[in-house]
Amino acid sequence: MPPFVAFAGVLGGLAVVRWAYKTAVRINQELEEMRLSRVAEPAHRERPTLKRDPATGAYRPG
């Protein structure tokens, strides 16, 4: 009986290691896709320029 218990423990341990490895690979793939999608976004976005209001002298978007 003890060899059977040891064999079952080894098989269970291998199943857990396989599951953990597949999960780690999947998570890393998702993170890499997210990183690449952020890199693909345009780095320079149109920002409104500030123009001086001649009446008040304050700068306003325009």
Residue 49's region, left for phi above 0, alpha for psi from -120 to 50, else beta, is beta
Transcribe 15-62 into DSSP letters. Answer: HHHHHHHHHHHHHHHHHHHHHHHHHHS-S----PPEEE-TTT--EEE-
**Model confidence at 2: pLDDT above 90:** no
| Mean pLDDT score, 40-48 | 67
| Mean pLDDT score, 37-50 | 72
- Higher pLDDT pick, 43 / 56: 56
**Model confidence at 46: pLDDT above 90:** no
**Model confidence at 25: pLDDT above 90:** yes
Predicted local distance difference test score (pLDDT) of residue 44: 63
- CB distance 53 to 62 below 8 Å: no
| Mean pLDDT score, 12-37 | 95
